[in-house]
Amino acid sequence: MERGAELAQRRARLRARCELQRRDLAAQAAQIEVELSRIDRSVEIVRSFVSKPALVAAGVAALAIIGPRRALRWVTQGTMWYGVAKRIFGAFAALRRNELTVRGNELTVDS
């Protein structure tokens, strides 16, 4: 009897451990899927750009005119400003979602 109870307890522990591992794997898979969707969007943008020879030629001409260093500096600054704008608009969206309002000198949450 005692051996059967021990085996049942061990089996229950193993099943619980498996369930935790399944949940962890599912969370990791979801994170990987998010990252891969970003890559897929980037690849799609590049493909749409490359499929238009006039845009490629204009890009090469612009790079030749403004120079690679200046272009890199512009891209770097543009990336930084894009991140700043994204955070600001995200904050406004969060305010709108939470329906925070400012009345006079107090901040209230509408429910």
> Distance from CA of residue 46 to its chain's centroid?
19
Rounded CA separation 2/99 (Å):
60
Residue range of the domain that includes 2: 1-51
pTM of this prediction exceeds 0.75: no
- Residues in the chain predicted with pLDDT less than 50, given as ranges, are 111
Q: How far apart are CA 29 and CA 22, in angstroms?
A: 10
Residue 43 lies in a domain: yes
Tens of pLDDT along 63-91?
899 998 998 999 999 999 999 999 999 88
Instruction: Provide the domain count of the chain.
Output: 2
pLDDT at site 33: 94
**Percent of the chain beyond pLDDT 90?**
50
Residue 17 lies in a domain: yes
